[in-house]
Amino acid sequence: MIAARFPTREGQEVEAIYHFIFTGAEKVRATIIIRNQTLQVCEGHRGKANLRMTADSRTWLGFLAIERNLMWTLPRGKIRLKGSPRLLLAFGKCFPS
């Protein structure tokens, strides 16, 4: 498990558990817990997820690099969500570029 504290206001309003399932070349299952301005990353799934995301690892990396648009990936099934898409947007706001 990795734990960190947000040094600024990012993450202040987010309270959620995220389950990530990456498929493709790099298969990984992880839990990210954001609570009280802290971030925990755990291998495997822990707790009940507010948002569960399944994605091809290459597609996800393309999305993070702003090479792929979420609105392109969702209808094609490259990224699948179970839960509110707003939580994925809130997750992204925790890590401003």
CATH code, domain with 56: 3.30.1050.10
Question: Any idea how long the chain is?
Answer: 97
Q: Which two tokens stand for residue 24?
A: 């493709």
Helix then strand then coil, % of the chain, to nearest 5: 20, 40, 40
Confidence band of 92 (pLDDT split at 50, 70, 90): confident
**How many CB atoms sit inside 10 A of residue 49's CB?**
19
For residue 9, the enclosing domain spans 2-93
- Count up the domains in the chain and report the number: 1
Q: Which residue has the higher pLDDT, 63 or 8?
A: 63
Report angle CA 41, 45, 50 to the nearest 5 degrees. Answer: 85
Residue 67 has pLDDT above 90, yes or no: no
